[in-house]
Structure 1
Amino acid sequence: AKFLGKNRYVVAVYDNVRRFTVPIDDEHLMLVTLDNKGGQKDMIERILSILEGDYTKSIFSGPQS
């Protein structure tokens, strides 16, 4: 439904990992699996920034202030 807005990602939480499904375009998805030790929100936001073209938030730049 359009009132929900664009799908940014979907998360599935398992006992030991979290799996994020991120749409890249109309035909492709990226699956990202992270452990449950923390930092998932930070990592997924960095990945989304790169996919959206904002390379100032590179996943290789370390923690953001």
Structure 2
Amino acid sequence: MDSNALYDKIMDIDPQIRFATIADKHGEIERTGHRQGVTNVLTPDESKKSLQRAIDSWNARSDLSEKIGKGRYVLAEYGKIKRITIPMGDDHLIYLTTDVSADHAKIIDDTLKLL
């Protein structure tokens, strides 16, 4: 599935998904965007830095995968948003932000089903 089609399907999962990015594990963005009408919490530069931190953390965790198994996702909940990182194979990540009240378990499960 190409990045544009996957992005569209992810954004259709739940209206509480605020932002989605599909990037490779080096930080090269293939598709990104905010839901129409959503006020951005971070500036574009801050969003890019946050994505890079998520990628760096994911890559660091992958170093332990032989011992603990491959990661399925990472969820971080903050006061204003939830951030979800999901691997796409060995080379890409899906990076989502949602409203705090979003059903993250459903969003994660439905996103994994797309893969």
Same fold (TM over 0.5): yes
Distance (whole Å) between structure 2 residues aligned to residue 42 and residue 7 of structure 1 = 18
TM-score, normalised via structure 1 length: 0.66
Richer in helix (by share): 2
- Tell which has more relative contact order, 1 or 2 (C-alpha 8 A, sep 6+): 2
Q: Any idea what the Cα deviations from partners look like across 1:6-65, whole Å, max 9, x if unmatched?
A: 2101112111111111111222111011111131111111101111xxxxxxxxxxxxxx
Q: Any stretches of 5+ residues in structure 2 without a counterpart? A: 1-63
- Residue type at the aligned position of 1:22: I
| TM-score of the aligned structures, taking structure 2 as reference length | 0.40
Note the C-alpha offset of 1:3: 3.7
Partner of 1:55: none
Runs of 4+ in 1 over 3 A off after TM superposition: none
The two structures, once aligned, show a CA RMSD in angstroms of 1.3
Provide the C-alpha distance between the structure 1 equivalents of 2:110 and 2:92, rounded to a whole number of angstroms.
19
Identity %: 35
Q: Structure 1: any 5+ residue segments left out of the alignment?
A: 52-65
Instruction: Figure out how many residues of one structure are paired with residues of the other and give that number.
Output: 51
